[in-house]
Amino acid sequence: MSDPTFVVLSRAGAHRDLAKGSREQPFWDEHAAFIDGLVEEGFIVLGGPLTDEDGAMLVVRAASEDEVRAKVAADPWYAHGILQLERIARWEIFIDERE
């Protein structure tokens, strides 16, 4: 049985430049490398920016909310205030039409 699924919602942090896109933010390369690592290890299932809100949403698999918090805290964008954690919620998926 796989780990539970969680949704991670973030909003723009104090150091996010709202005039620039995601790839133009400070620490983009470090953030992208960090996220790629989490995808490779199977932690992140889906993710991306919320373009109308300058935040982001991730769908992740983890044993607990504490594990989710620990992994997110290590992201350079959270550490440098580009993103700020808004909410973590456990998600019981009923419908999944992805192949």
Q: 24 in a domain, yes or no?
A: yes
Residue 88: pLDDT over 90: yes
Token digits of residue 55: 């935040």
Q: 46 in a domain, yes or no?
A: yes
Give me the pLDDT at residue 40, please.
97
- For 10, counting Cβ atoms within 10 Å of its Cβ (0-12 exposed, 13-18 middle, 19+ buried), the class is buried
- The count of domains in the chain is 1
Average of per-residue pLDDT across 54-74: 95
Who's near 30: CB < 8 A, 6+ residues apart?
Answer: 76
Backbone angles phi, psi at 95, to 5 degrees: -125, 130
Q: Are the CB atoms for 55 and 49 separated by under 8 Å? A: yes
Better pLDDT: 98 or 45: 45
Enclosing domain of residue 37? 5-61+79-91
Average of per-residue pLDDT across 52-70: 94
Give me the pLDDT at residue 5, please.
97
Give me the pLDDT at residue 2, please.
81
Residue 10: pLDDT over 80: yes
